[in-house]
Amino acid sequence: MYTHNDLDGIGCGIVAKLAFADKVEVRYNSVMGLDHQIERLFEHEKKLEEFHLFITDLSINEENTKRVEQLHKRGGKVNFIDHHKTALHFNEYSWGTVQVEYEDGRLTSATSLLYEHLLENEWIHKTKALDEFVELVRQYDTWEWDQNDNIKAKHLNDLFFMFSLDEFEEKMIERLTSQQDSFNFDDFEQKLLSMEEDKIERYVRRKKRETYQTFINELCAGIVHAESYHSELGNELGKEYPHLDYIAILNVGGKKISFRTIHDDVDVSAVAGQFGGGGHAKASGCSMGKDAFDLYVQEVYPLDPIRQDAFRNRYNLKESPKGTLYDSRQGDKFFVAPMEDGKWSIEVKNGILEESFSQFQEAENHIKRNFGASLSRDDVYVKYLVDFYLKEKK
C-alpha cells in the first residue's frame, strides 16, 4: 500500500494493517514523493502480479498511470482509492475508485472509502471503535468537525502530530484491537492535548499579527508564513478576516504552500492547480516554484501586515445603529451607517459611495478588501462624530 503521510493517509495504513496484519506493507509518502516511489516499485519488483497494490489518498502521474494500467491488464490486482475531485479522471479505469461525497452530501475521505471497500470484501471486522475512528478521520480531513463542533476529531489530528508516525500507528492499532466498543484517549493523552490547545492558541494569536493581504488573480488572499498548525491557522485566520477569499500559508523552508478557505464560493483546489498542486475545495496545497514564490513572497514582502481591529471598544461597535467607523494607514476614514431601506451605506471624505450593501458584513468586506482599513478606536470614533455634528450645525 502506498498512501499519504497526513492523518487520512495514516488512517488508511491503520485500517489496512487491521485487515491484513503482517501481510501488508504500508509506505507513507508526501504529495511530491509518491510518483518516484511507484516508479521504483515497477523498476525493482519483478513479480508485481503476485501482489495486491493499493494506492490511497494520493494521485499518480500519467506515466505511472500507464504502468498501473498495464499491470492490471497482465492480471495484477490494483485498487486506486481517492476522494479528491482532481483525481476523478481515475474513475475511467476499472481499478480506480474516486468519490468526493456520499449521496447524503457528506464529504468522503480516503480512510472511509478504503474501510467500506474492505468491509464489502469481508477483509476486515467491523467494530464500534473502528467505525468511530474512521469517522473522526473523515470529519477532520473534510473539516466537518468544525461545523459539527466535534473537537475529538481535531484532537485526533493533534495527537498524530505529537508522536512519530510509527508511534501513532502502533498506538492506534493496539487501541482499536483491544477496545472494540468505543474509541477514547487515555489520561496521559488528554493532558498532552490540553497543553497543545494552549500552545496552538498562542501560535495563532501571534500569526494573526503577521498576516498580509493582497489580490492575486482577482482573489483577495491572506498570506502568512508558518511551519505548524496549518489547518487550525487557516480556519482561525479565515474567521478573523472574513473579507479574505482564502489564506495562503507559506513554508519557505519546505518550499510548500497550503491554501485554506471558509467560503463556499471559493475553490482553493483551483488556486493550487495553477501551480501544479491540488486538493479539496476548502483545503489544498502545492509546491512553491518560482511563479508562486514571486507572487506570494517577493511581491508581498514590501507590504505591511493587515491592520488589527480595535478590540476594547465600548462605542465603536460593528453593526451599531449609530454607525461604525473604520480608518486606514493613510488616515482615510470610512463610516458605515444603516439606511432606511435596511441596507448599509459607506460615507467617505467626499460624500457617500454610490454602492450600497444589503448586509453590514458586505460593507465591511468592501472597505477592508479595497482600502485595508480597520475598526477605529473609540477615541477616534467619538472625535469623528463630534466633528460631524459640528459640521452639520454650520
The chain-wide mean pLDDT, for the chain, equals 94
Convert the pLDDT of each residue in 370-386 to its tens digit.
Answer: 999 999 999 999 999 99
Percent of the chain at pLDDT > 90 equals 86
Convert the pLDDT of each residue in 249-293 to its tens digit.
Answer: 999 998 999 999 999 999 999 999 999 888 888 889 999 999 999
Q: Comparing 2-16, 131-145, 245-259, 344-358, which segment has the lowest mean pLDDT?
A: 344-358
Q: Is 72 within the bounds of a domain?
A: yes
What amino acid occupies position 306? I
Q: Is 200 within the bounds of a domain?
A: no
Backbone angles phi, psi at 366, to 5 degrees: -60, -45
Q: Comparing 258-262, 344-348, 351-355, which segment has the lowest mean pLDDT?
A: 351-355
Residues 50 and 160 in one domain: yes
Using pLDDT thresholds of 50, 70 and 90, give the confidence band for residue 30.
confident
Q: Is 248 within the bounds of a domain?
A: yes
Q: Is 339 within the bounds of a domain?
A: yes
Using pLDDT thresholds of 50, 70 and 90, give the confidence band for residue 188.
very high
Using pLDDT thresholds of 50, 70 and 90, give the confidence band for residue 394.
low
Residues 153 and 73 in one domain: yes
Question: In the structure grid, which three cell numbers stand for residue 264, read together?
Answer: 463556499
Q: Is 201 within the bounds of a domain?
A: no
In the chain, the DSSP E strands lie at: 2-4, 27-29, 52-56, 77-82, 96-98, 212-216, 219-225, 246-251, 256-260, 278-279, 283-287, 324-327, 333-338, 344-348, 351-352, 374-375
- pLDDT of 31: 83
Residues 147 and 81 in one domain: yes
Q: Comparing 90-94, 102-106, 330-334, 352-356, which segment has the lowest mean pLDDT?
A: 352-356
Q: Is 192 within the bounds of a domain?
A: no
Residues 6 and 151 in one domain: yes
Give me the residues paired with residue 53 across strands: 78
pLDDT at 392 over 70: no
- pLDDT of 9: 97
Q: Is 86 within the bounds of a domain?
A: yes
CA distance 129 to 19: 14
The mean pLDDT value for 172-195 works out to: 94
Residues 140 and 12 in one domain: yes
CA distance 108 to 142: 7
pLDDT at 389 over 80: no
Residues 158 and 237 in one domain: no
Structural domain count of the chain: 3
Residues 94 and 137 in one domain: yes
Sheet bearing 324-327, strands edge to edge: 351-352, 344-348, 333-338, 324-327, 374-375
Cβ atoms 168, 160 nearer than 8 A: yes
- 111 burial class (0-12, 13-18, 19+ CB within 10 angstroms)? buried
In 203-245, the DSSP E strands lie at: 212-216, 219-225
Structural domain that includes position 145: 2-185
Residues 63 and 110 in one domain: yes
Residues 107 and 25 in one domain: yes
Residues 283 and 382 in one domain: no
Residues 292 and 336 in one domain: no
Sheet bearing 2-4, strands edge to edge: 27-29, 2-4, 52-56, 77-82, 96-98
pLDDT at 393 over 70: no
Residues 177 and 214 in one domain: no
Q: Is 317 within the bounds of a domain?
A: no
Closest CA to 12 of 59, 61, 81, 72: 81
